[in-house]
Structure 1
Amino acid sequence: MPIVTGKDSAGTRRTLKAGGREIAYYSIPAAQAAGLGTFDRLPASLKVVLENMLRFEDDGFTVSTDDIRAFGEWGANGGKNPREIAYRPARVLMQDFTGVPAVVDLAAMRDGIKALGGDARKINPLVPVDLVIDHSVMIDEFGTPRAFQKNVDLEYQRNMERYQFLKWGQGAFDNFRVVPPGTGICHQVNLEYLAQTVWTDTDQTGAEVAYPDTLVGTDSHTTMVNGLAVLGWGVGGIEAEAAMLGQPVSMLIPEVVGFKLTGAMVEGTTATDLVLKVVQMLRQKGVVGKFVEFWGDGLDNLPLADRATIANMAPEYGATCGFFPIDDETLRYLRQTGRDEDRVALVEAYAKENGMWRGPDYAPIYTDTLELDMSSIVPAISGPKRPQDYLPLSDAKTAFAREMETTFKRPRDKQVPVEGEDYAMSSGKVVIASITSCTNTSNPYVLIGAGLVARKARALGLDRKPWVKTSLAPGSQVVSEYLEASGLQEDLDAIGFNLVGYGCTTCIGNSGPLQPEISKAIAEGDLVATSVLSGNRNFEGRISPDVRANYLASPPLVVAYALAGDMNIDLTTEPLGTGKDGQPVYLKDIWPTNQEIAELVEATVTREAFRAKYADVFKGDEKWQAVETTTGETYDWPPSSTYIQNPPYFRGMSQEPGTISNIAGARVLAVLGDMITTDHISPAGSFKPTTPAGKYLTERQVAPKDFNSYGSRRGNHEVMMRGTFANIRIRNEMLEGVEGGYTKGPDGAETSIYDASMAYQAKGVPLVVIGGKEYGAGSSRDWAAKGTNLLGVKAVIAESFERIHRSNLVGMGVIPFEFTGGQTRSSLGLTGDEVISIEGLEGGLKPLSIVPCTITAPDGTTRTIELKCRVDTAVEVEYLENGGVLHYVLRNLAQS
């Protein structure tokens, strides 16, 4: 399907020569010469967005020449001009947790458009969509040579209904490809194979056009590919579906914070240590809703693998993206990973012609800046609850002791014997040490480093502690290729870091169960067990229900903590264990030099390995090829399926949109604190039979061992709405001293949030949720908004919102509001027993309006405050009038 380019009123289309052929492109220098503005000192990341305006300019229908001029004004105004623009990414990337419900919605839209008298075949992705099945493998088996095969077998057994559905989608929809299980994670497959940095396609004239590779992804860590100068960020499945269906992403021209890197990393430090410091600095700076672009001569010393590590964690520092411009290192990586030479030549030629090349004189205008000398980086970890909780490794032991006193309020010396074992559990014991995919396994320097730590420890006679569950889940098969080639996989195996699967495991809650006796001891003693993982997320309740303190660390440090087995040890001064010669072994004894690592990377990470492993990436193994599915333009929904159900969004939908109504007489479903993440709102991990979701499955004869996880059941709204606000660590301030998804029902008694919602909805009572700062932080989890909608919540009132979740709420017809004038739930003394009414929504709501909210206390007294309606754009107003973005798209397609 050719791309549709715009009218190009300013005549910016040009041609360039690369790879022996002429290719059309839209020239930023030509736009400047045409008098549309001064663009030469714009950051490269913003030039990518500007090129999008040039290519799709259509005389003001969606993009006008005034939108283009706004970028010149951005530079003239010191890096600020929050004009609303319509941006069209080149492609969409999905993982299966978020991808399955997106495909479910597309299938439901085919049913919906037929009900409105339209053609089901109109529901197709209009831009290329790649879905990588990577979130479904769980670590049931570990520490043995059979771990990988056993976990894969269980993955297919648990997820066959989902895989049959995805295979149907692959055949039913145009422009939709599926990367089968066992291949790798979406971000690493994207970085190593799918991404091209500069894309080409034919347009409606039949000409070949070059343009920057851009995307949105249904995983917040889509930003990883920013390290390869590909502009992409995470959106909820709701936004991604709209983009797939031809809707431009409505956004404001962003501010761009320039992060200058100088110097070079010193001996003994890793990219993970660097990124954890970057996360801390940018969180302190405040970059939510902004682009971050890295520049400075330090980039000359930063391999692309390290850049991707930093870019991956943009959601952790709160930015929309963490972009690295195109330079010589970009070209080197494209060659190393097997891209064609013609593509590499095009990337270089295009970047230089269109002002996107980082040369020695690269010094753009930025909205704001900060700087870091990389020679100042020290070994570090982050935890126990947030990625920005940065700790130099030398402070880790004392910091954990402080957390035990102030946060967990538990003694550290309590010992609980483990049945059948010769050791006891105590707070601080590391029960999970996981080299998990996403942030670090795309980085051969830290993976080879981890292997060398294992090799040296093995040679000295060290082993993991027996209570530590160890795992290695690479992000692609290339990692196994170079670990095998270097002989390091054998060393990792020897201390328990056997391959457990290619997928996102521990950092999304797929860590699997602990040994039952260990789990029992932790529960009996109410102990603070810990995990150490090389991922990007360590929020409460995310990693394992048995683990309260979670720490992010580099892969080599994950290995070191598996050997030590305890957070109460200072790895910088105390021994990790005793060697076979009876002598203490310290971290410095097993830490490899940078030269050792670099030599092995050079010898084993080859272009041939990448080309071989990605030669037939969509084919899958015998298991995938054996998956049987239905055919047809609409899906034959299996009524007994507990994984895939037709969602209720489009039932009874009218031909015409409605209007936005005031909210009258609403009750409060929950009062929540600061930094409530999408994990709190819509957990992805395991759940118990006593939960509403567990009861639902039990009633349908699903055994607890087959519950799988919330994330794997995102295609079934019945499970997911029961799991909304059901995180085991969430705290509803309406109840004192209670953790988990509980609230007060209409009768004032404690009950589950799901049961309270059903009772209120049966009475026709609307609901609101009250929150604090950074409401909805974390993953781009569409079910955090979908579940909120299905629970009957009409509005969320918070102090501030994280970008993706705010957008998702609007996309599902839930209105986000912010307190004004410094007011908060605490300053207002809200208990959750109040009645809330919000006016000013009817009769033409304007973006970012200030509206009155009346709060009626239980004794009948009232007060009125002002709220800021965080419906940010005119398009979002239309979405609300239609009941959500999917309803908006469906009506438009039905009438076209």
Structure 2
Amino acid sequence: MTTSLPDTRQTLSVGNQSWQIHSLNKVSQALGDISRLPMTLKVLLENQLRFADDESVSVEDIQALIDWQKEGRSDREIGYRPARVLMQDFTGVPGVVDLASMRAAVEALGEQPSRINPLSPVDLVIDHSVMVDHFGDPSSFKDNVALEMERNRERYEFLRWGQEAFDNFRVVPPGTGICHQVNLEYLGKTVWTKEEDGTTLAYPDTLVGTDSHTTMINGLGVLGWGVGGIEAEAAMLGQPVSMLIPEVIGFKLTGKLREGITATDLVLTVTEMLRKKGVVGKFVEFYGDGLKDLPLADRATIANMAPEYGATCGFFPVDDETLTYMRLSGRDDQQIALVEAYCKEQGLWREPGHEPIFTDALELDMGEVEASLAGPKRPQDRVALKDLSATFEKLMEGNGQSVDQQRSDNLAAEGGQTAVGVERSYLHADSQEVNHDGSTFSLDPGAVVIAAITSCTNTSNPSVMMAAGLLARNALRKGLKTQPWVKTSLAPGSKVVTDYLAAADLQDDLNELGFNLVGYGCTTCIGNSGPLPEPIEEAVKKGDLTVASVLSGNRNFEGRVHPLVKTNWLASPPLVVAFALAGNVRCDLSQDPLGEDSDGNPVYLKDIWPSQKEVAEAVEKVNTAMFRKQYAEVFDGDEVWKAIDVPQSEVYEWSSDSTYIQHPPFFEGMGRDPAPIEDVEQARILAMLGDSVTTDHISPAGAIKPDSPAGRYLQENGVKVVDFNSYGSRRGNHEVMMRGTFANVRIQNEMLDGVVGGETRHVPSGEQMAIYDAAMRYQEEGTPLVVVAGKEYGTGSSRDWAAKGTLLLGVRAVLAESYERIHRSNLIGMGVVPLQFPEGEDRKSLGMTGDESISISGLSDLRPGSKVKVTIHSDKGDKAIEALCRIDTANELEYYRHGGILHYVLRKMIGAAT
């Protein structure tokens, strides 16, 4: 085997310009054929070539990538260095807080604070802070933006400081769009360039992002995925992302979508298939000749939901469609020419009939996809549109809620309304009569109280957005209207959407049905749905009604959209509009009428659903000038943003009065050398949790309850309940976030029988209390803590606070059956050790109740993938198991040994890391 690397540099010329590249052809000639290596691994191979130094990247690493083809897998660990980092403000603010805190720590160690700077380009897009307080009227956007600026002024001042204080750091101001759509439409280049040693180097555009839906950019042939904020901070500070060479699952697409079937229906089908296949921690790469008829916006829709099907990424290779989209979205002609030349030269261009070697593969004929939704609480649980009503009835029965068979003619006779198309015999006994906004109606189980066109998944796709507008126009022509109990909203991912809806003359139709613009950003999907009208909220509470939201998003976990909405259904934008008309998910839209036309004839969904021809004609209204206009001054912001006062200082001046930005304690007392790792002795169990506990459960987004620990803290600091804002907006304050850890209203701690919410039992007193309050008592007692959980612990969004809050509560270790990739990495990044039950053992088989204490030995002698002894102490005696330590790589072990990844990076940057 070759023991030295070949010289892989060569010149690539396009027109009158030349670039230096690291040739994959040269490495193939020297080390082995790579013609059938998956495209994603070719990108990783180029990355290894570019950083090869025989230390951090060796010839063995490169050979391992080439040899991957022999078995479709590898146990080799590599260090991956992405070209750039993408952040949104919920995850970005704590990232900038950590950078500011690192500067303070460096100053305390007697070093120069300005040494702490991003070394890779960082873009932060403010997109998660706008909330839907106002809706359904022409002033909704203006009013919501005014509230956003008022609520978030402290955060925005801090981000403006970061923009001025740090090099290599850009901020896209609020009111521009969702980070993933801005990335797709503007930031992404497919091939990146930089000046190096007097030449211009060209290489694949790659990134990591602090939002799990960073994968959306995979649709543009850009390899990127979501990581925790902690890991992203390390990447921006020059540290490689440590990873095992992944398995790559091929997904072959053939055929075409049928008439009336949308990209959303396709992605929900793909998500269901891949979840069943099992692709957690794996790359997914799409291939097949079906790609030639799949628009890039549809590819981006599928790539966006990679976290929902569990994959690290969902990659589409570069081809003519990639170039077509780059032209449409206003990319420079020279950039497009470079992309084509580079990808063809490097074997990164999709050729017809090409089938790489994959670890495993599956196939879908797109002609078999049917109209679908997903829910009620997991995005992978696809439900055919025709089955939704029956699915909801089964949910009601499963909740112990019998279906009332009595008719409600009396209520209707008194002027009440029911959702057209819902048989009155199915109305639940707990239906509530409501008076709201001049209407009197019955609010029934299954009522759609939120209908939101929102989220990066779908609002980046002109075909489904135009379909929504066309359906609205057709509905109005039939005399249909939105039901009065539905909160409607339209939150596009960029201003380009507004331009093309206006150009197609469809925005007015959407407005007429209440889908007025409420803001540019991630609203309902992140939990920023805002309050329901008070009479609706009161009726839901009084009747304990199981109501619904229908949203064109990608996340529908329990308690995420709205704390009172128990069932949440992901759907295409036109279906969102349709359910706003129907008003209830118990209406079978495949056969029940939506309502009646002006002549009293029933109107069915098929009567108003736009044809593919109509949609295509509307999509033709989208043009390059729209993109160029909206992105011409993308970093400038409006006058309010420009007027924000920016402190001029290298080290941030923390304010003890701020309830948004506080100096976190992560680096308190940090020395130049790491302290020895100690075993865990007699730890108590803070919480014992089941399967599929998400980062929403661990560190919730959305509303802050007044009587929660976080709510009490804010009120004690003079914040009125109306000014609470959301957990996400307060991620720069560890006092709020540690109180919100494990505080989700839907989390279930098995230590408490039947109790829902963030409560636990303090041991040995036996008192029930909030998890935060118990953690503080344990800290006073000097008792370490562990968390015990089931399968897929930490699924969902890549929230760094799920790990940071866990640490601040005093948790030393988590013992679970399995982990989602990002959260496992984040726990290590904060110095919390993730342990895995041995095969065949779990909390149930061991008879655990939560009263036990836990001891963990062998932490000082860890090796990647080693086992440690876990002793479970109870009044029935001791049980010992050998748990697998999920510190999988040598780099992760170094991070853990230093007390966390940021401690390691800080020590290395000042020359103290050992």
Normalised-by-shorter TM-score class: over 0.9
- The Cα shift of 1:37 comes to 2.5
Is this contact kept in 1: 2:289–2:353, CA < 8 A?
A: no
Taking the aligned partners of 1:841 and 1:775, their CA distance within structure 2 comes to 21
Q: Which one of 171, 174, 182 corresponds to residue 164 of structure 2?
A: 171
SS in 1 for 2:566: strand
Q: Look up the match of 2:601.
A: 583
Taking the aligned partners of 2:792 and 2:671, their CA distance within structure 1 comes to 36
Go from structure 1 to structure 2 and tell me whether the alpha carbon gap of 1:877 and 1:423 turns closer, same or farther (over 3 Å shift).
same
1:18 has 2:14 as partner: yes
Taking the aligned partners of 2:748 and 2:558, their CA distance within structure 1 comes to 11
Q: Look up the match of 1:4.
A: none
Q: Look up the match of 1:401.
A: 393
Is this contact kept in 2: 1:19–1:343, CA < 8 A?
A: no
Is this contact kept in 2: 1:8–1:54, CA < 8 A?
A: no
Taking the aligned partners of 1:428 and 1:494, their CA distance within structure 2 comes to 24
Taking the aligned partners of 1:751 and 1:723, their CA distance within structure 2 comes to 14
1:449 has 2:449 as partner: no
1:710 has 2:727 as partner: yes
SS in 1 for 2:610: coil
Q: Look up the match of 2:190.
A: 197
Q: Which one of 35, 44, 49 corresponds to residue 49 of structure 1?
A: 44
1:873 has 2:903 as partner: no
Q: Look up the match of 2:424.
A: none
Q: Look up the match of 1:225.
A: 217
Q: Which one of 642, 650, 654 corresponds to residue 637 of structure 1?
A: 654
1:101 maps to amino acid: P
Q: Look up the match of 2:66.
A: 72
Over residues 297-345 of structure 1, what are the superposed CA-to-partner deviations in whole Å (9 max), with x where a residue is unaligned? 1101100000000000000000000000000000100000000111111
Taking the aligned partners of 1:56 and 1:373, their CA distance within structure 2 comes to 40
- The Cα shift of 1:9 comes to 3.7
- The Cα shift of 1:640 comes to 0.2
Q: Look up the match of 1:694.
A: 711
Taking the aligned partners of 1:384 and 1:407, their CA distance within structure 2 comes to 13
Over residues 147-193 of structure 1, what are the superposed CA-to-partner deviations in whole Å (9 max), with x where a residue is unaligned? 00000000000000000000000000000000000000100000000
Over residues 832-865 of structure 1, what are the superposed CA-to-partner deviations in whole Å (9 max), with x where a residue is unaligned? 10010111112x31011111111111x2511111
Taking the aligned partners of 1:573 and 1:821, their CA distance within structure 2 comes to 48
1:382-781 matches, cutoff 5 A: 382-407=374-399, 409=401, 411=403, 412-420=428-436, 421-602=439-620, 604-746=621-763, 747-781=765-799
TM-score norm. by structure 1 comes to 0.98
Taking the aligned partners of 2:881 and 2:546, their CA distance within structure 1 comes to 42
Q: Look up the match of 1:3.
A: none
1:148 maps to amino acid: F
Is this contact kept in 1: 2:655–2:662, CA < 8 A?
A: yes
Taking the aligned partners of 1:237 and 1:885, their CA distance within structure 2 comes to 11
- The Cα shift of 1:631 comes to 1.1
1:193-272 matches, cutoff 5 A: 193-203=186-196, 205-272=197-264
1:69 maps to amino acid: Q
SS in 1 for 2:813: strand
Go from structure 1 to structure 2 and tell me whether the alpha carbon gap of 1:408 and 1:711 turns closer, same or farther (over 3 Å shift).
farther
1:101 has 2:94 as partner: yes
1:257-336 matches, cutoff 5 A: 257-336=249-328
SS in 1 for 2:910: helix
Taking the aligned partners of 1:174 and 1:53, their CA distance within structure 2 comes to 26
Taking the aligned partners of 1:240 and 1:410, their CA distance within structure 2 comes to 49
1:417 maps to amino acid: E
- The Cα shift of 1:798 comes to 0.5
Is this contact kept in 2: 1:477–1:502, CA < 8 A?
A: yes
1:835-854 matches, cutoff 5 A: 835-842=853-860, 844-854=861-871
Is this contact kept in 1: 2:379–2:555, CA < 8 A?
A: yes
Taking the aligned partners of 1:249 and 1:877, their CA distance within structure 2 comes to 13
Over residues 591-625 of structure 1, what are the superposed CA-to-partner deviations in whole Å (9 max), with x where a residue is unaligned? 000011001111x1101111111011000111111
Is this contact kept in 2: 1:385–1:538, CA < 8 A?
A: yes
Is this contact kept in 2: 1:457–1:590, CA < 8 A?
A: yes
Taking the aligned partners of 2:549 and 2:839, their CA distance within structure 1 comes to 41
Q: Which one of 19, 33, 38 corresponds to residue 38 of structure 1?
A: 33
- The Cα shift of 1:413 comes to 3.9
Taking the aligned partners of 1:101 and 1:581, their CA distance within structure 2 comes to 58
- The Cα shift of 1:19 comes to 4.2
- The Cα shift of 1:659 comes to 2.2
Is this contact kept in 2: 1:118–1:895, CA < 8 A?
A: no
Q: Which one of 816, 830, 848 corresponds to residue 830 of structure 1?
A: 848
2:722 maps to amino acid: K
Taking the aligned partners of 1:449 and 1:815, their CA distance within structure 2 comes to 48
Taking the aligned partners of 1:608 and 1:659, their CA distance within structure 2 comes to 60
Is this contact kept in 2: 1:37–1:71, CA < 8 A?
A: no
Q: Look up the match of 1:87.
A: 80
Taking the aligned partners of 1:582 and 1:621, their CA distance within structure 2 comes to 49
Go from structure 1 to structure 2 and tell me whether the alpha carbon gap of 1:736 and 1:333 turns closer, same or farther (over 3 Å shift).
same
- The Cα shift of 1:414 comes to 2.4
Is this contact kept in 1: 2:430–2:544, CA < 8 A?
A: no
Is this contact kept in 2: 1:179–1:620, CA < 8 A?
A: yes
SS in 2 for 1:209: strand
Over residues 101-136 of structure 1, what are the superposed CA-to-partner deviations in whole Å (9 max), with x where a residue is unaligned? 000000000000111121101100000000000000
Is this contact kept in 2: 1:28–1:354, CA < 8 A?
A: yes
Taking the aligned partners of 1:895 and 1:225, their CA distance within structure 2 comes to 36
Superposed CA RMSD = 1.1
Identity of paired residues, percent? 63
Taking the aligned partners of 1:860 and 1:733, their CA distance within structure 2 comes to 20
Taking the aligned partners of 1:249 and 1:22, their CA distance within structure 2 comes to 30
1:182 has 2:182 as partner: no
Over residues 366-403 of structure 1, what are the superposed CA-to-partner deviations in whole Å (9 max), with x where a residue is unaligned? 00000000000110000001001111101010011001
Matched residue pairs, number? 883
Taking the aligned partners of 2:227 and 2:448, their CA distance within structure 1 comes to 34
Q: Look up the match of 1:149.
A: 142
SS in 2 for 1:38: coil
Is this contact kept in 1: 2:478–2:598, CA < 8 A?
A: yes
1:65 maps to amino acid: V
SS in 1 for 2:440: coil
- The Cα shift of 1:427 comes to 1.0
- The Cα shift of 1:255 comes to 0.5
Over residues 722-766 of structure 1, what are the superposed CA-to-partner deviations in whole Å (9 max), with x where a residue is unaligned? 000000000000001111100012421100000000000111100
2:628 maps to amino acid: R
Taking the aligned partners of 1:700 and 1:577, their CA distance within structure 2 comes to 51
SS in 2 for 1:418: strand
Go from structure 1 to structure 2 and tell me whether the alpha carbon gap of 1:408 and 1:230 turns closer, same or farther (over 3 Å shift).
farther
1:45 maps to amino acid: T
Q: Which one of 32, 49, 62 corresponds to residue 56 of structure 2?
A: 62
Taking the aligned partners of 1:894 and 1:217, their CA distance within structure 2 comes to 26
Taking the aligned partners of 2:291 and 2:400, their CA distance within structure 1 comes to 41
SS in 2 for 1:423: strand
1:687 maps to amino acid: I
Taking the aligned partners of 1:736 and 1:718, their CA distance within structure 2 comes to 29
Taking the aligned partners of 1:574 and 1:106, their CA distance within structure 2 comes to 56
